[in-house]
């Protein structure tokens, strides 16, 4: 190898300066894991069900027609032409930027606090990020359509608007009125992407989802996943729902055979009528545990508000200073580390996110896991050894 070789000199500058998305498992990977918004109740598939498929020496079906047929029945869509399958929603997020955004020229809009991968993918693709913060007053976490309209007017090269509903880390469904306002905005020249990863945990999923709107709005893309409500985070299957013209572009731009035969096998079984019913039953259990967890955790001294509308499988909890007067990042971060490093419970610190001061994001666990969390959290909040100032 030439001594004059310099990796830094040939890598794109935006990649060199990139701050990668930090996964929940980057810091802690053992104990009671309540940090990644996984389904704590497990997969919808039976333990004895084989994950083996035949003909692993053959490439998988590139079109995944059988899975798509079950999905359109499940979500009430017109045809499989409205569906794209990706390697998790993250592939779809990235693929849309590569399709619509010219590097170094075009822009996207995000609405903090929101999912971190939108910004990471934008940085990788050398696409500028315009931030239009949510209305966070009293933990409302709703869009400001007038501010988004201003941003669209000032940035006509905006190609994508990423909205998360229910939000992460907000756990809040966005108002349909405000989503429509963005879609109908005369300043919008690009596409609106609604991330519905947690949609099945809402009380009325069909009413909360905007997936069927793609039949009316050709500038709308809805993302869903099997990771959360179906408890299949490990198979990495994301779902894109959009006008068939957009779906054709996505299929043209994706890698060949992007969905493996193993993923396909599991996903097809998960989308049987029996397992969809099981998913809905589990989602109902999680909602019940969510309500119990909120009721119990708010009785602990040192806990502030539970922010947001609680439409997902997690809650956003304020940790107060030792005087119990206001949310405090230092104490929240200390609680987060103490739980993980000494108590065997992993949650997610979110105090640095806009509108989330002093907050921990806590996935709803099983009844036993939640009881353990409440016990340890109550004990730690009695400890005033860490000052908030």
Give the CATH number for residue 17: 3.90.1150.10
Q: H/E element holding 338?
A: helix 329-342
Alpha carbon distances (Å) from 130 to 23, 106, 123, 151, 175? 23, 11, 12, 8, 21
CATH number (domain holding residue 149): 3.40.640.10
What DSSP string describes 259-281?
Answer: S-HHHHHHHHHHTSHHHHHHHHH
Does residue 91 sit within a domain? yes
Residue 271 to residue 228: CA distance in whole angstroms: 14
Residues 246, 290 within the same domain = no
Residue 369 to residue 241: CA distance in whole angstroms: 35
**Number of neighbouring beta carbons within 10 Å of residue 7:** 7
User: Domain boundary residue among 250, 275, 300?
Assistant: 275
**Number of neighbouring beta carbons within 10 Å of residue 2:** 5
Residues 194, 318 within the same domain = no
DSSP state of 131: E
Does residue 263 sit within a domain? yes
Q: pLDDT 10s per residue in the chain (389 long)?
A: 345 556 576 555 766 676 766 666 667 778 888 887 888 888 776 554 545 556 677 788 888 999 999 999 999 999 999 999 999 999 999 999 999 998 999 999 999 999 999 999 999 999 999 999 999 999 999 999 999 999 999 999 999 999 999 999 999 999 999 999 999 999 999 999 999 999 999 988 788 999 999 999 999 999 999 999 999 999 999 999 999 999 988 888 888 889 998 999 999 999 999 999 999 999 999 999 999 999 999 999 999 999 999 999 999 999 999 999 999 999 999 999 999 999 999 999 999 999 999 999 999 999 999 999 999 999 999 876 666 66
Q: What is the pLDDT of residue 284?
A: 97
Residues 263, 301 within the same domain = no
User: Domain boundary residue among 275, 290, 322?
Assistant: 275
Residues 352, 271 within the same domain = no
Q: What is the pLDDT of residue 215?
A: 95
Does residue 74 sit within a domain? yes
- The label of the residue with tokens 């545990």 reads 289
Residues 171, 270 within the same domain = yes
What DSSP string describes 27-87?
Answer: T--SSEE-SS---TT--SS-TTS----S-TTSPPPSS-HHHHHHHHHHHT-S-GGGEEEES
Residues 270, 294 within the same domain = no
**Which candidate, 344, 307, 301, 337, places its Cα nearest to that of 320?**
301
Model confidence pTM above 0.75:
yes
- Nearby residues of 55 by Cβ (< 8 Å), 6 or more positions away: 261
**Six token digits for residue 14:** 């935006």
Q: Please, which residues bridge with residue 161 across strands?
A: 109, 192
Residues 256, 166 within the same domain = yes
What range defines the domain where residue 305 resides?
A: 11-39+282-381
User: Domain boundary residue among 230, 245, 275?
Assistant: 275
**Six token digits for residue 314:** 């997690």
Classify residue 54 as exposed, middle or buried by CB count within 10 Å of its CB (0-12, 13-18, 19+). exposed
Answer whether 199's CB lies under 8 Å from 225's CB: no
**Six token digits for residue 96:** 């849309």
Does residue 29 sit within a domain? yes
Q: What is the pLDDT of residue 15?
A: 62
Residues 164, 297 within the same domain = no
Q: What is the pLDDT of residue 160?
A: 95
Q: How far apart are the first and last CA of the chain?
A: 53
Domains identified in the chain, total number: 2
- Nearby residues of 2 by Cβ (< 8 Å), 6 or more positions away: none
Q: What is the pLDDT of residue 23?
A: 65
Residues 132, 261 within the same domain = yes
Q: What is the pLDDT of residue 268?
A: 95
Residues 178, 195 within the same domain = yes
Residues 218, 119 within the same domain = yes
Answer whether 125's CB lies under 8 Å from 108's CB: no
Maximum Cα–Cα distance for the chain, whole Å?
Answer: 65
Does residue 205 sit within a domain? yes
Q: β-strands 359-363, 314-319: how paired?
A: antiparallel
Q: What is the pLDDT of residue 17?
A: 76
Does residue 72 sit within a domain? yes
Answer whether 43's CB lies under 8 Å from 237's CB: no
Query: Crossing angle, helix 88-100 and helix 117-124, to 10 degrees?
Result: 40
Does residue 55 sit within a domain? no
**Number of neighbouring beta carbons within 10 Å of residue 98:** 15
Residues 182, 331 within the same domain = no
Q: What is the pLDDT of residue 39?
A: 87
DSSP state of 308: S
Residue 77 to residue 240: CA distance in whole angstroms: 12
Does residue 4 sit within a domain? no
DSSP state of 22: P
């Amino acid at each position: 190898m030439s001594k004059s070789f310099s990796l830094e000199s040939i890598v794109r500058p935006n990649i060199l300066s990139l701050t990668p998305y930090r996964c929940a498992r980057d810091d802690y990977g053992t104990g009671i894991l309540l940090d990644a918004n996984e389904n704590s109740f497990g997969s919808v598939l039976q333990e004895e069900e084989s994950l083996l498929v035949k003909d692993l020496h053959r490439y998988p079906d590139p079109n995944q027609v059988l899975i798509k047929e079950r999905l359109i029945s499940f979500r009430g869509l017109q045809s499989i032409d409205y569906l794209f399958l990706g390697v998790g929603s993250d592939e779809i997020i990235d693929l849309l930027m590569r399709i619509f955004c010219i590097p170094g020229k075009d822009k996207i809009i995000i609405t903090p606090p929101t999912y971190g991968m939108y910004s990471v993918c934008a940085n990788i693709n050398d696409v500028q990020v315009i931030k239009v913060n949510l209305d966070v007053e009293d933990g409302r976490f709703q869009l400001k359509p007038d501010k988004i309209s201003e941003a669209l007017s000032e940035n006509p090269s905006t190609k994508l608007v990423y909205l998360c509903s229910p939000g992460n880390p907000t756990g809040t469904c966005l108002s349909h009125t405000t989503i429509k306002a963005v879609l109908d905005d005369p300043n919008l020249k690009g596409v609106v992407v609604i991330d519905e990863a947690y949609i099945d945990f809402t009380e009325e999923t069909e009413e909360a989802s905007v997936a069927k709107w793609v039949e009316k709005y050709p500038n709308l893309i809805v993302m869903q996943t099997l990771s959360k409500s179906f408890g299949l985070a490990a198979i990495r299957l994301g779902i894109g729902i959009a006008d068939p013209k957009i779906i054709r572009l996505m299929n043209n731009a994706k890698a060949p055979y992007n969905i493996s035969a193993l993923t396909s096998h599991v996903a097809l079984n998960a989308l049987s009528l029996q397992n969809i019913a099981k998913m809905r039953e589990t989602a109902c259990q999680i909602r019940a545990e969510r309500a119990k967890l909120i009721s119990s955790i708010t009785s602990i001294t040192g806990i502030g508000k539970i922010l947001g509308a609680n439409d997902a499988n997690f809650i956003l909890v304020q940790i107060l200073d030792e005087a119990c007067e206001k949310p405090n990042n230092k104490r929240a971060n200390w609680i987060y580390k103490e739980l993980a490093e000494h108590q065997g419970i992993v949650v997610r610190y979110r105090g640095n996110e806009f509108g989330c001061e002093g907050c921990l994001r806590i996935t709803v666990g099983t009844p036993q896991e939640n009881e353990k969390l409440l016990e340890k959290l109550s004990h730690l909040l009695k400890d005033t050894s860490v000052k908030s100032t």
